Amino acid sequence: MVDFFRRTLRKVDKLNAEQRKELLISAIGEISLLENVLDSIDMGILVCDESDNLIMVNKCAQRLIPMNYIEGVKLKTAITEEKIIESFKDIIVSRERVANKEIDVHNQGRNRLLSVNVVPLVQEKRITGTLIYIEDITEKRKGEERLRRAENLASLTTLAAGVAHEIKNPLGSISIHLQLLQKTLLKNFKSADKSTDKYFNVLKEEIERLNRIVVDFLFAVRPMNLELREGDLNKLITQIIDFVRFEMEQQNIECALELDSSIPYILIDERYMKQAILNLVKNAQAAMPDGGVFTVASSISDNEIKISVRDTGVGISKDNFTKIFEPYFTTKESGTGLGLTQVYKIVREHHGEITVDSIEGEGTEFKISLPLPQKETKLIGFEKK
Protein backbone atom coordinates (compact mmCIF):
# COMPACT_ATOMS: atom_id res chain seq x y z
CA MET A 1 0.00 0.00 0.00
CA VAL A 2 2.89 2.38 0.74
CA ASP A 3 4.32 1.76 -2.75
CA PHE A 4 0.90 2.54 -4.25
CA PHE A 5 0.76 5.92 -2.51
CA ARG A 6 4.35 6.71 -3.55
CA ARG A 7 3.57 5.98 -7.19
CA THR A 8 0.37 8.02 -7.00
CA LEU A 9 2.21 10.91 -5.33
CA ARG A 10 4.49 11.21 -8.38
CA LYS A 11 1.41 11.78 -10.55
CA VAL A 12 -0.51 13.97 -8.09
CA ASP A 13 -0.13 17.05 -10.29
CA LYS A 14 -2.00 15.22 -13.06
CA LEU A 15 -4.93 14.26 -10.81
CA ASN A 16 -8.11 16.30 -10.74
CA ALA A 17 -9.76 17.50 -7.51
CA GLU A 18 -12.09 14.48 -7.28
CA GLN A 19 -9.22 12.00 -7.71
CA ARG A 20 -7.14 13.81 -5.08
CA LYS A 21 -10.08 13.67 -2.68
CA GLU A 22 -10.45 9.92 -3.26
CA LEU A 23 -6.72 9.44 -2.68
CA LEU A 24 -6.91 11.37 0.60
CA ILE A 25 -9.95 9.37 1.77
CA SER A 26 -8.12 6.15 0.91
CA ALA A 27 -5.04 7.28 2.89
CA ILE A 28 -7.20 8.21 5.90
CA GLY A 29 -8.85 4.79 5.73
CA GLU A 30 -5.47 3.03 5.73
CA ILE A 31 -4.23 5.09 8.70
CA SER A 32 -7.48 4.45 10.59
CA LEU A 33 -7.15 0.71 9.94
CA LEU A 34 -3.56 0.77 11.23
CA GLU A 35 -4.63 2.63 14.40
CA ASN A 36 -7.49 0.17 14.99
CA VAL A 37 -5.12 -2.78 14.58
CA LEU A 38 -2.62 -1.30 17.04
CA ASP A 39 -5.36 -0.47 19.57
CA SER A 40 -6.79 -4.00 19.29
CA ILE A 41 -3.47 -5.68 20.08
CA ASP A 42 -3.31 -6.96 23.66
CA MET A 43 0.20 -5.58 24.05
CA GLY A 44 1.45 -2.10 24.77
CA ILE A 45 3.29 -0.41 21.89
CA LEU A 46 5.26 2.84 22.11
CA VAL A 47 7.20 4.37 19.23
CA CYS A 48 9.83 7.09 19.81
CA ASP A 49 11.85 9.11 17.33
CA GLU A 50 15.62 9.63 17.52
CA SER A 51 15.20 12.28 20.23
CA ASP A 52 13.02 9.98 22.39
CA ASN A 53 9.86 11.93 21.56
CA LEU A 54 6.72 9.80 21.50
CA ILE A 55 5.19 9.59 18.03
CA MET A 56 2.78 6.71 18.62
CA VAL A 57 1.24 5.01 21.68
CA ASN A 58 -1.57 2.46 21.53
CA LYS A 59 -4.40 2.17 24.08
CA CYS A 60 -2.98 -0.93 25.77
CA ALA A 61 0.27 0.91 26.60
CA GLN A 62 -1.72 3.73 28.19
CA ARG A 63 -3.59 1.17 30.34
CA LEU A 64 -0.43 -0.62 31.45
CA ILE A 65 1.75 2.41 32.22
CA PRO A 66 0.65 5.52 34.11
CA MET A 67 1.23 8.34 31.59
CA ASN A 68 -0.04 11.63 30.24
CA TYR A 69 0.39 11.04 26.52
CA ILE A 70 0.62 13.95 24.11
CA GLU A 71 2.11 13.29 20.69
CA GLY A 72 5.62 14.71 20.44
CA VAL A 73 6.27 14.85 24.18
CA LYS A 74 9.39 13.19 25.53
CA LEU A 75 8.92 9.68 26.91
CA LYS A 76 10.31 10.60 30.34
CA THR A 77 7.87 13.52 30.51
CA ALA A 78 4.83 11.47 29.53
CA ILE A 79 5.39 8.72 32.11
CA THR A 80 4.23 9.77 35.57
CA GLU A 81 5.94 7.16 37.76
CA GLU A 82 9.60 7.78 38.63
CA LYS A 83 10.46 4.09 38.99
CA ILE A 84 9.29 3.35 35.44
CA ILE A 85 11.09 6.40 34.06
CA GLU A 86 14.35 5.07 35.51
CA SER A 87 13.77 1.64 33.95
CA PHE A 88 13.01 3.09 30.52
CA LYS A 89 15.89 5.58 30.71
CA ASP A 90 18.41 2.74 30.93
CA ILE A 91 16.67 0.87 28.13
CA ILE A 92 16.51 3.74 25.64
CA VAL A 93 19.92 5.28 26.31
CA SER A 94 21.63 1.99 25.47
CA ARG A 95 20.05 1.97 21.98
CA GLU A 96 20.38 -1.81 22.06
CA ARG A 97 17.87 -4.60 21.74
CA VAL A 98 16.30 -5.55 25.06
CA ALA A 99 14.38 -8.81 25.46
CA ASN A 100 11.92 -9.60 28.25
CA LYS A 101 13.14 -7.09 30.82
CA GLU A 102 10.75 -7.36 33.78
CA ILE A 103 9.63 -4.29 35.72
CA ASP A 104 7.09 -3.88 38.55
CA VAL A 105 4.40 -1.26 38.09
CA HIS A 106 1.77 0.02 40.51
CA ASN A 107 -1.06 1.44 38.41
CA GLN A 108 -4.80 1.95 39.03
CA GLY A 109 -4.52 0.36 42.47
CA ARG A 110 -2.90 -2.84 41.20
CA ASN A 111 0.57 -4.29 41.16
CA ARG A 112 1.53 -5.47 37.70
CA LEU A 113 4.56 -7.29 36.36
CA LEU A 114 5.46 -6.12 32.86
CA SER A 115 7.77 -7.67 30.32
CA VAL A 116 9.45 -4.99 28.18
CA ASN A 117 11.06 -5.54 24.79
CA VAL A 118 12.94 -2.85 22.87
CA VAL A 119 14.09 -2.90 19.26
CA PRO A 120 15.63 -0.13 17.14
CA LEU A 121 13.25 1.38 14.58
CA VAL A 122 15.05 1.03 11.25
CA GLN A 123 14.13 2.91 8.09
CA GLU A 124 16.19 2.80 4.90
CA LYS A 125 19.05 1.04 6.75
CA ARG A 126 19.22 3.78 9.36
CA ILE A 127 18.03 3.80 12.98
CA THR A 128 15.32 6.43 13.16
CA GLY A 129 13.92 5.74 16.61
CA THR A 130 12.90 3.09 19.12
CA LEU A 131 10.05 0.59 19.22
CA ILE A 132 8.99 -0.56 22.71
CA TYR A 133 6.42 -3.27 23.20
CA ILE A 134 5.13 -4.27 26.62
CA GLU A 135 3.28 -7.36 27.82
CA ASP A 136 1.41 -7.72 31.11
CA ILE A 137 2.68 -11.06 32.49
CA THR A 138 1.11 -10.73 35.96
CA GLU A 139 -1.46 -13.49 35.48
CA LYS A 140 1.04 -15.66 33.62
CA ARG A 141 3.44 -15.49 36.57
CA LYS A 142 0.64 -16.15 39.05
CA GLY A 143 -0.38 -19.19 37.02
CA GLU A 144 3.20 -20.48 37.04
CA GLU A 145 3.37 -19.92 40.81
CA ARG A 146 0.07 -21.76 41.37
CA LEU A 147 1.33 -24.68 39.29
CA ARG A 148 4.62 -24.75 41.20
CA ARG A 149 2.78 -24.69 44.54
CA ALA A 150 0.52 -27.53 43.44
CA GLU A 151 3.56 -29.55 42.35
CA ASN A 152 5.30 -28.86 45.68
CA LEU A 153 2.25 -30.00 47.63
CA ALA A 154 1.88 -33.09 45.46
CA SER A 155 5.52 -34.10 45.98
CA LEU A 156 5.19 -33.56 49.73
CA THR A 157 2.02 -35.64 49.91
CA THR A 158 3.78 -38.71 48.52
CA LEU A 159 6.15 -38.91 51.47
CA ALA A 160 4.14 -37.10 54.16
CA ALA A 161 2.18 -39.90 55.79
CA GLY A 162 5.09 -42.30 56.25
CA VAL A 163 7.64 -39.74 57.42
CA ALA A 164 5.24 -37.89 59.72
CA HIS A 165 4.04 -41.05 61.41
CA GLU A 166 7.61 -42.29 61.77
CA ILE A 167 8.33 -39.09 63.70
CA LYS A 168 5.05 -38.87 65.60
CA ASN A 169 5.19 -42.41 67.01
CA PRO A 170 8.65 -42.03 68.64
CA LEU A 171 7.60 -38.62 69.99
CA GLY A 172 4.66 -40.22 71.76
CA SER A 173 6.92 -42.91 73.19
CA ILE A 174 9.51 -40.34 74.34
CA SER A 175 6.80 -38.28 76.06
CA ILE A 176 5.43 -41.30 77.96
CA HIS A 177 8.86 -42.49 79.09
CA LEU A 178 9.83 -38.97 80.12
CA GLN A 179 6.82 -38.85 82.43
CA LEU A 180 7.73 -42.29 83.85
CA LEU A 181 11.31 -41.16 84.38
CA GLN A 182 10.16 -38.02 86.20
CA LYS A 183 7.88 -40.09 88.51
CA THR A 184 10.69 -42.55 89.23
CA LEU A 185 13.09 -39.77 90.15
CA LEU A 186 10.53 -38.13 92.44
CA LYS A 187 9.82 -41.48 94.08
CA ASN A 188 13.48 -42.35 94.71
CA PHE A 189 14.72 -38.82 95.38
CA LYS A 190 12.03 -36.99 97.32
CA SER A 191 14.13 -33.86 97.63
CA ALA A 192 15.04 -33.60 93.95
CA ASP A 193 16.89 -30.49 92.82
CA LYS A 194 14.63 -27.73 91.39
CA SER A 195 16.85 -27.62 88.31
CA THR A 196 15.72 -31.17 87.54
CA ASP A 197 12.12 -29.97 87.15
CA LYS A 198 13.36 -27.16 84.94
CA TYR A 199 15.13 -29.63 82.62
CA PHE A 200 12.07 -31.86 82.47
CA ASN A 201 9.85 -28.88 81.59
CA VAL A 202 12.19 -27.86 78.77
CA LEU A 203 12.10 -31.40 77.37
CA LYS A 204 8.30 -31.49 77.56
CA GLU A 205 7.98 -28.13 75.79
CA GLU A 206 10.29 -29.27 72.99
CA ILE A 207 8.35 -32.51 72.56
CA GLU A 208 5.09 -30.54 72.36
CA ARG A 209 6.63 -28.14 69.84
CA LEU A 210 7.84 -31.01 67.64
CA ASN A 211 4.43 -32.63 67.91
CA ARG A 212 2.72 -29.40 66.75
CA ILE A 213 5.07 -29.21 63.76
CA VAL A 214 4.22 -32.78 62.78
CA VAL A 215 0.48 -32.13 63.18
CA ASP A 216 0.72 -28.96 61.06
CA PHE A 217 2.73 -30.83 58.45
CA LEU A 218 0.15 -33.62 58.26
CA PHE A 219 -2.61 -31.05 57.93
CA ALA A 220 -0.77 -29.25 55.13
CA VAL A 221 -0.23 -32.32 52.96
CA ARG A 222 -3.01 -34.79 53.73
CA PRO A 223 -6.13 -34.82 51.56
CA MET A 224 -8.95 -33.01 53.37
CA ASN A 225 -12.33 -34.51 54.12
CA LEU A 226 -14.45 -31.41 53.82
CA GLU A 227 -17.89 -31.38 55.40
CA LEU A 228 -19.60 -28.83 53.17
CA ARG A 229 -22.68 -27.08 54.50
CA GLU A 230 -24.39 -23.83 53.62
CA GLY A 231 -22.61 -21.14 55.58
CA ASP A 232 -22.69 -17.38 56.10
CA LEU A 233 -19.24 -15.99 55.26
CA ASN A 234 -20.03 -12.55 56.66
CA LYS A 235 -21.07 -14.06 60.00
CA LEU A 236 -17.91 -16.21 60.05
CA ILE A 237 -15.69 -13.17 59.37
CA THR A 238 -17.46 -11.13 62.05
CA GLN A 239 -16.90 -13.91 64.61
CA ILE A 240 -13.18 -14.01 63.81
CA ILE A 241 -12.81 -10.22 64.14
CA ASP A 242 -14.72 -10.20 67.42
CA PHE A 243 -12.33 -12.90 68.65
CA VAL A 244 -9.14 -10.95 67.80
CA ARG A 245 -10.37 -7.37 68.22
CA PHE A 246 -9.21 -6.89 71.83
CA GLU A 247 -5.74 -8.28 71.10
CA MET A 248 -5.48 -6.09 68.00
CA GLU A 249 -6.48 -2.97 69.91
CA GLN A 250 -3.80 -3.73 72.50
CA GLN A 251 -1.27 -3.47 69.62
CA ASN A 252 -2.80 -0.17 68.40
CA ILE A 253 -4.27 -1.93 65.37
CA GLU A 254 -7.57 -0.56 64.11
CA CYS A 255 -9.95 -3.29 62.86
CA ALA A 256 -12.37 -2.49 60.04
CA LEU A 257 -15.08 -4.57 58.36
CA GLU A 258 -16.38 -3.88 54.85
CA LEU A 259 -18.94 -6.64 54.31
CA ASP A 260 -21.36 -6.87 51.39
CA SER A 261 -24.76 -7.78 52.85
CA SER A 262 -25.96 -9.21 49.51
CA ILE A 263 -23.57 -12.17 49.68
CA PRO A 264 -25.59 -15.43 49.64
CA TYR A 265 -24.95 -18.54 51.70
CA ILE A 266 -22.44 -20.86 50.03
CA LEU A 267 -21.18 -24.39 50.66
CA ILE A 268 -18.13 -24.27 52.94
CA ASP A 269 -16.51 -26.24 55.71
CA GLU A 270 -16.70 -23.59 58.41
CA ARG A 271 -13.92 -25.14 60.54
CA TYR A 272 -11.37 -25.02 57.76
CA MET A 273 -12.50 -21.69 56.28
CA LYS A 274 -12.36 -20.10 59.73
CA GLN A 275 -8.81 -21.41 60.16
CA ALA A 276 -7.75 -20.05 56.76
CA ILE A 277 -9.07 -16.54 57.44
CA LEU A 278 -7.72 -16.58 61.01
CA ASN A 279 -4.25 -17.50 59.67
CA LEU A 280 -4.40 -14.46 57.36
CA VAL A 281 -5.56 -12.28 60.25
CA LYS A 282 -2.66 -13.45 62.43
CA ASN A 283 -0.25 -12.78 59.56
CA ALA A 284 -1.58 -9.23 59.25
CA GLN A 285 -1.23 -8.75 63.00
CA ALA A 286 2.40 -9.89 62.91
CA ALA A 287 3.07 -7.49 60.00
CA MET A 288 2.03 -4.44 62.10
CA PRO A 289 4.21 -4.51 65.23
CA ASP A 290 3.84 -0.73 65.60
CA GLY A 291 0.12 -0.63 64.91
CA GLY A 292 -1.84 0.22 61.80
CA VAL A 293 -5.14 -0.45 60.04
CA PHE A 294 -6.42 -3.93 59.39
CA THR A 295 -9.41 -4.49 57.07
CA VAL A 296 -11.44 -7.54 56.10
CA ALA A 297 -13.86 -7.05 53.21
CA SER A 298 -16.30 -9.24 51.32
CA SER A 299 -17.88 -8.60 47.94
CA ILE A 300 -19.55 -10.35 45.04
CA SER A 301 -18.63 -9.97 41.36
CA ASP A 302 -18.01 -12.02 38.21
CA ASN A 303 -19.90 -15.02 39.65
CA GLU A 304 -17.48 -15.14 42.57
CA ILE A 305 -17.47 -14.21 46.23
CA LYS A 306 -14.31 -12.33 47.14
CA ILE A 307 -12.73 -11.96 50.56
CA SER A 308 -9.99 -9.38 51.05
CA VAL A 309 -7.65 -9.31 54.06
CA ARG A 310 -5.40 -6.25 53.96
CA ASP A 311 -3.07 -4.48 56.34
CA THR A 312 -0.87 -1.40 56.45
CA GLY A 313 2.15 -3.33 57.69
CA VAL A 314 5.72 -3.91 56.58
CA GLY A 315 4.77 -5.58 53.29
CA ILE A 316 6.54 -8.44 51.53
CA SER A 317 9.91 -8.02 49.86
CA LYS A 318 10.24 -8.77 46.17
CA ASP A 319 12.65 -11.64 46.93
CA ASN A 320 10.09 -13.36 49.18
CA PHE A 321 6.99 -12.62 47.13
CA THR A 322 6.99 -15.85 45.10
CA LYS A 323 7.87 -18.05 48.10
CA ILE A 324 5.20 -17.16 50.64
CA PHE A 325 2.89 -20.12 49.93
CA GLU A 326 5.73 -22.63 49.86
CA PRO A 327 5.87 -25.15 52.73
CA TYR A 328 8.37 -24.25 55.49
CA PHE A 329 9.09 -20.77 54.14
CA THR A 330 8.82 -18.20 56.93
CA THR A 331 10.30 -14.86 57.94
CA LYS A 332 9.22 -15.26 61.57
CA GLU A 333 11.66 -16.43 64.23
CA SER A 334 9.18 -18.92 65.71
CA GLY A 335 7.10 -19.73 62.63
CA THR A 336 6.74 -23.21 61.12
CA GLY A 337 6.30 -21.89 57.59
CA LEU A 338 3.09 -23.89 57.13
CA GLY A 339 0.44 -21.25 57.92
CA LEU A 340 0.03 -19.87 54.39
CA THR A 341 0.48 -23.35 52.92
CA GLN A 342 -2.56 -24.38 54.97
CA VAL A 343 -4.51 -21.33 53.77
CA TYR A 344 -3.66 -22.12 50.15
CA LYS A 345 -4.70 -25.75 50.57
CA ILE A 346 -8.02 -24.90 52.26
CA VAL A 347 -8.94 -22.37 49.56
CA ARG A 348 -8.03 -24.79 46.77
CA GLU A 349 -10.06 -27.57 48.42
CA HIS A 350 -13.04 -25.18 48.21
CA HIS A 351 -12.31 -24.77 44.44
CA GLY A 352 -11.20 -21.20 45.05
CA GLU A 353 -8.14 -19.10 44.31
CA ILE A 354 -5.91 -17.00 46.55
CA THR A 355 -3.67 -14.17 45.37
CA VAL A 356 -1.55 -11.56 47.09
CA ASP A 357 -0.58 -7.95 46.35
CA SER A 358 2.03 -6.20 48.45
CA ILE A 359 4.15 -3.08 48.49
CA GLU A 360 7.15 -3.25 50.79
CA GLY A 361 6.77 -0.70 53.57
CA GLU A 362 3.11 0.03 52.76
CA GLY A 363 1.13 -3.16 53.31
CA THR A 364 -0.23 -6.42 51.97
CA GLU A 365 -3.57 -7.66 50.66
CA PHE A 366 -4.60 -11.31 50.37
CA LYS A 367 -7.60 -11.97 48.12
CA ILE A 368 -9.65 -15.15 48.24
CA SER A 369 -12.08 -15.89 45.39
CA LEU A 370 -14.72 -18.58 45.90
CA PRO A 371 -17.11 -19.74 43.15
CA LEU A 372 -20.78 -18.99 43.55
CA PRO A 373 -23.20 -21.96 43.54
CA GLN A 374 -24.74 -22.48 40.10
CA LYS A 375 -28.25 -21.53 41.24
CA GLU A 376 -26.93 -18.23 42.68
CA THR A 377 -25.12 -17.48 39.42
CA LYS A 378 -28.34 -17.91 37.47
CA LEU A 379 -30.29 -15.71 39.87
CA ILE A 380 -27.72 -12.93 39.65
CA GLY A 381 -27.76 -13.12 35.86
CA PHE A 382 -31.56 -12.96 35.90
CA GLU A 383 -31.61 -9.93 38.20
CA LYS A 384 -29.26 -8.03 35.93
CA LYS A 385 -31.68 -8.50 33.01
Which of the four pLDDT bands, split at 50, 70 and 90, describes residue 1? low
Are 131 and 45 within 8 A, CB to CB?
Answer: yes
Which of 2-11, 115-124, 355-364 is least confident? 2-11
Which of 285, 289, 306, 304 has the alpha carbon at shortest distance from 240?
285
Eight-class DSSP state of 224: P
When the pLDDT of each residue in the chain is averaged and rounded to a whole number, the result is 78
For the ranges 146-155, 206-215, 315-324, 351-360, the lowest mean pLDDT is seen at 146-155
Range of weakest confidence among 1-5, 194-198, 223-227, 315-319: 1-5
Instruction: Answer yes or no: are the C-beta atoms of 164 and 220 closer than 8 Å.
Output: no
Give how far Cα 19 sits from Cα of 22, 30, 33, 93, Å: 5, 17, 21, 45
Q: How many CB atoms lie within 10 A of CB 218?
A: 16
166: CB partners within 8 A, 6+ apart = none
3-state secondary structure of 31: helix
State pLDDT tens for residues 230-281: 999 999 999 999 999 999 999 999 999 999 999 999 999 999 999 999 999 9
pLDDT band of residue 213 (cuts 50, 70, 90) is: confident
CA distance 181 to 197: 12
Q: What is the mean pLDDT of residues 61-83?
A: 76
Phi and psi of 366, rounded to 5°? -100, 135
Measure the CA dihedral 300/306/307/308, to 10°: -100
DSSP reduced 3-state for 295 = strand
| Residue 186 reports pLDDT greater than 50 | yes
Least confident of 93-102, 221-230, 293-302: 93-102
- Of residues 199 and 115, more confidence is placed in 115
**pTM score, whole prediction:** 0.51
The pLDDT value recorded for residue 331 is 61
For residue 88, what pLDDT is reported?
Answer: 67
Are 196 and 183 in contact by the 8 Å Cβ rule? The answer is no
Helix (H, G, I), strand (E, B) or coil at 116: strand
Q: What is the pLDDT of residue 127?
A: 79
Give the pairing type, strands 266-268 and 363-371. Answer: unpaired
Helices (H), 65-113: 75-78, 82-94
For strands 253-258 and 292-301, give the pairing.
parallel
pLDDT digits (tens, 9 = 90+) for 71-81: 777 777 777 77
